[in-house]
Amino acid sequence: AQSVTQLDSHVSVSEGTPVLLRCNYSSSYSPSLFWYVQHPNKGLQLLLKYTSAATLVKGINGFEAEFKKSETSFHLTKPSAHMSDAAEYFCVVSDISGSARQLTFGSGTQLTVLP
Amino acid sequence: NAGVTQTPKFQVLKTGQSMTLQCAQDMNHNSMYWYRQDPGMGLRLIYYSASEGTTDKGEVPNGYNVSRLNKREFSLRLESAAPSQTSVYFCASKGLTSDTQYFGPGTRLTVL
């Protein structure tokens, strides 16, 4: 069975400083990994995904994530935070379970960006 | 394209009442999903439909039923609502050749 652990429930950074949101996963097969973002009272938007091509994945809005199989990690980074990045971020693993590939979500990391 | 749409956006029920949440997608996707989101728990899968005509239980199916009405539509029914079902419900869909799920805007349900 797959699982996802987001190591920080809250992260606070100052505008213009780097962002690091940490994620570890476990999976029986070769997983696909995703980061989704949810702004307040909104649905989920896909930031980026890893599907066994390049280990460094670039997403929207300047975010990127590196897949490290040896560490079973998929941390999300951004060089310089913007106020509009304040949101909740979910690390997600996709694996085969039952009759379809299913997603397992981490519990989320709330990112606060301070002026 | 509208993507994934959900109705209603908000709903308040009394304990024991029933209701159906509607979801539709216009991306010709095969698979559709219902999740609930509770604080500090991420999203948890309630039911899914890998293709038209099939449905399967997810992680938290108790108290819910689903219907895959056609390829576009996937509804979630609460037969006798309980306060523990107060949550935000998201519908998602996925194409046959991709792992990426696309989410609707959510339905915020309160059961008193």
Please indicate whether, in this complex, the C-beta atoms of B56 and A98 are within 8 angstroms of each other. Answer: yes
Query: Average model confidence (pLDDT) for chain B?
Result: 93
- The stretch A13-35 carries a mean pLDDT of 91
Residue B99: count other Cβ atoms within 10 Å of its Cβ.
18
Confidence tier at B31 by pLDDT (50, 70, 90): very high
d(CA A34, CA A57): 10
pLDDT given for residue B44 in this prediction: 93
What span, in angstroms and rounded, lies between the C-alpha atoms of B53 and A44? Answer: 27
pLDDT tens digits, A42-101: 889 999 999 877 889 999 999 999 999 889 999 999 999 999 999 999 999 987 665 566
Nearest residue of chain B to residue A44 (CA atoms): B103
Residue B42 near residue A105, CB atoms below 8 Å:
yes
Predicted confidence at residue A96, as pLDDT, reads 66
Using the beta-carbon criterion (under 8 Å), do A43 and B101 form an inter-chain contact?
A: no
Q: How many CA atoms lie within 13 A of B110 on its CB side?
A: 4
pLDDT band, very low/low/confident/very high, at B96 (cuts 50, 70, 90): confident
Closest by Cα among B53, B62, B56, B111 to B84: B111
